[in-house]
Amino acid sequence: MLDVIALHKTYDNGTHALRELDFHVDDGELVCVVGPSGCGKTTLLKCVAGLLTPTSGEVRLAGSRVAGPPRDTAVVFQEYGRSLFPWMTVRQNVELPLKEKRVAAARRRELVAESLAAVGLADAARAHPWELSGGMQQRVAIARAVAYEPRLLLMDEPFAAVDAQTRAELEDLLLSLWRRLGVTVLLVTHDIDEAVYLGRRIVVLSGAPTAVQEELPVPLPAPRDQVTTRSDPRFARLRAHVYEQIQRAHSSGSSGSSGGPGPWDGPWDGAR
Ligand SMILES: Nc1ncnc2c1ncn2[C@@H]1O[C@H](COP(=O)(O)OP(=O)(O)OP(=O)(O)O)[C@@H](O)[C@H]1O
């Protein structure tokens, strides 16, 4: 579904953000991207979202080269406060991209109602974003993305600006929506625990200039649960492994794959 091929990005000021990135995401997968601070995670996501033009290489979505924001892709950013229009109600915010997509009015009403119910905000449709808590505003941003019925959902540190309890709730909300909707998710996070908890696969980026340092499957059973999954000994092993990889990335810049055995054991059945 998504192919990132020899992706290279140098900004106009000469910063080599991405050296050469290659990876693939299957239809319906949930893949987390982690890496050292400033390694180019956001740059990667913007290239995938068609918001930034690569210097060389390409992003392909269902076989087609991405040359601008693709029609069936939605993006959720960290800064929910800046991504919602304060003068619009929650319902209007969720509906706006559907109008731009030229969805018929009756279907728009259905999609808005369904997506707000899915994120537990059916009663807040008439509120304005500034009347809601940070976690609720991020739910609106997620509802807006879900209502759009994207094939690919891109998320850039989507839960970084909320408190720990809300973050855990939003993580579980994402997992349940992902299971239900079958959408493909590429999520950037600086939080290793979050990557292991959410990801079915993790792409670890090297230090700048950035390449893929390692790709590893996360063979934790589904459905995942904040208490049982996080206390699974395999969770701790994976977490430690990814942490070590990021430490290596910090100290050595881009150095290729680590090789050697992974921290997981047993087969993974791919269950959601
Ligand atoms: N518009 C820009 N112009 C020039 N350089 C930029 C621009 N945006 C990002 N950079 C640089 O590109 C590199 C990668 O930045 P990017 O924001 O993609 O990294 P990141 O991994 O998302 O960072 P963080 O972990 O801090 O969120 C950094 O050196 C950054 O300073």
pLDDT number for residue 256: 41
In this prediction, residue 34 has a pLDDT band, given cuts at 50, 70 and 90, of very high
Query: What average pLDDT does this structure show over 87-92?
Result: 96
Closest atom of ligand 1 to CA, residue 15 = 5
User: What percent of the chain shows pLDDT beyond 90?
Assistant: 68
Q: How far does residue 39's CA lie from ligand 1's centre (Å)?
A: 7
Ligand 1: distance of its center to the CA of 176 in Å? 31
State the distance from the centre of ligand 1 to the C-alpha of 11, rounded, in angstroms: 9
Characterize the bridge pairing of strands 184-188 and 30-34: parallel
Q: For the range 79-87, what are the long-range contacts, defined as Cβ-Cβ under 8 Å and sequence gap of 24 or more?
A: 79/161, 80/129, 80/134, 80/137, 80/138, 80/140, 80/141, 80/161, 81/129, 81/134, 81/137, 83/141, 84/129, 84/137, 84/140, 84/141, 84/144, 85/129, 86/128, 86/129, 86/130, 87/128
**163-204 pLDDT, tens per residue?**
888 889 889 989 988 998 899 999 999 999 999 999 999 999
Residue 71, pLDDT score: 85
Mean pLDDT on 212-221: 94
Q: Provide the pLDDT confidence category of residue 162 given band limits of 50, 70 and 90.
A: confident
Half-sphere exposure of 254 (CA within 13 A, CB side): 14
Spans of all domains in the chain = 1-72+151-265, 83-149
Is 258 touching ligand 1 by the criterion CB < 6 Å?
no
Q: d(Cα 194, Cα 172) in Å, to the nearest integer?
A: 11
- Ligand 1, atom 13, lies closest to the CA of 17
Q: Which atom of ligand 1 is nearest to the CA of 156?
A: 22
Calpha distance 107→33 (Å, rounded):
34
Tell me what pLDDT residue 266 has.
42
**SS3 state at 216:** strand
Mutate-to-test residue for ligand 1 from 10, 12, 15, highest number of ligand atoms within 8 A of CB: 15
Return the amino acid letter for 220.
Answer: L
**pLDDT exceeds cutoff 50 at 84:** yes
Give the per-residue pLDDT at 216: 95
> CB under 8 Å to 160, separation ≥6 — which residues?
78, 189, 190, 191
Cα(53) to centroid(ligand 1), Å: 14
Residue ID of nearest Cα to ligand 1 atom 17:
42
Distance CA 52, CA 233 (A): 40
Mean pLDDT of 132-156: 92
pLDDT of residue 97: 93
Q: CB of 10 closer than 6 A to ligand 1?
A: no
Take residue 257 and report the two structure tokens written for it: 């794959």
Q: What is the pLDDT of residue 271?
A: 54
Q: What is the CATH number of domain 1-72+151-265?
A: 3.40.50.300
Q: Is 207 in the pocket of ligand 1 (CB under 6 A)?
A: no
Q: Which residue's CA lies nearest to atom 16 of ligand 1?
A: 40
Query: How much is the pLDDT for 200?
Result: 96
pLDDT digits (tens, 9 = 90+) for 115-132: 899 888 999 999 999 999
Binning pLDDT at 50, 70 and 90, where does residue 253 land? low
Instruction: Output the average pLDDT for the chain.
Output: 89
User: Is residue 42 in contact with ligand 1, taking CB distance under 6 Å?
Assistant: yes
pLDDT in tens, 40-73: 999 999 999 999 999 999 999 999 999 999 888 9
CA angle 32, 34, 38 (to 5 degrees): 140
ipTM: 0.97
Least confident residue range of 74-88, 93-107, 124-138: 74-88
